[in-house]
Amino acid sequence: MPQIYFENLKSFCNAEIFFWHIKEGCNELSEYIADNGTLLSEAKRRFKSESRQREWLATRALLHSTQYKGETILYNDNGKPYLAGNSRHISISHTNEYVAIAVSDYPIGIDIERTDRNAYAVAKSFLTEQEIDILTQENNPVKQALCLWSAKEAAFKLASENITILKEIGITKNADSYTVTYPDNSTAKCDCLILDDIVLSVATRRY
């Protein structure tokens, strides 16, 4: 059995949050899922890149590690994931060696980033001029830029609107969270958590 690295943060953002530090190869992940290689074959059919195969399999292996074992992840016409035969909402994110899943009774969006990602260098691509001005007032603008990027990514996954770029989503910092504003003036709350070498953000309209 492959070694598993996942944490269940049940009290975070009214959701169940699961993440896995992927150290297994595709074959190990397939063996852990124990479906006689069915998902491994599907991963190889879907993706040419072994790294993408690995992320896709790790997502299924992570779900297999939870109480949602046996559930199937499907995607709607907009590319949003859902659990077949289960009314709970799901959101998925992965970056390099990590994958994260959020499950909630309400619509939700999740994003995971490595802390060595330099979002500050491309801040103008996803922040408005006003948001950049606020960023420059932070004690650690590089760290804060990554949190803003991650929060907007989570908000993007939550949104049902036709949003094409992150700059269309406004963001303001509160005491312990962020508020994002969509083009139709609806809002959502984003929580951002820094855990060792990753940043985890979850967006929800339920708060």
What pLDDT score does 7 carry?
Answer: 63
Domain finish residue from 59, 82, 105: 105
pLDDT digits (tens, 9 = 90+) for 49-59: 999 999 999 99
Confidence at residue 109, expressed as pLDDT on a 0 to 100 scale: 95
pLDDT the model gives residue 63:
94
Residue 164 has a pLDDT of: 86
pLDDT value at residue 138: 85
| Among 45, 76, 105, residue at a domain's last position | 105
- Taking the CA atoms of the chain, what radius of gyration do you get in angstroms? 17
pLDDT at 33: 93
Residue 83: enclosing H or E segment and its boundaries?
strand 81-83
For residue 82, the model assigns a pLDDT of: 95
Range of the domain at 160: 112-204
- In this prediction, the residues of the chain whose per-residue pLDDT falls under 70 are 1-12, 160-161, 207
Do 119 and 169 sit in the same domain of this protein?
Answer: yes
**Domain stops at, among 73, 105, 137:** 105
Report CA torsion sign: 179, 181, 185, 188.
negative
Angle 40-199-18 (CA atoms, 0-180°, nearest 5)? 45
Token output for 191: 């929580």
Output the pLDDT for position 4: 57
What is the structure's pLDDT at 137?
A: 83
The pLDDT score that the predictor gives to residue 9 is: 65
Q: Is residue 61 part of a domain?
A: yes
Give the pTM: 0.91
Write down the residue that tokens 């260098």 correspond to.
121
pLDDT confidence of residue 2 = 45
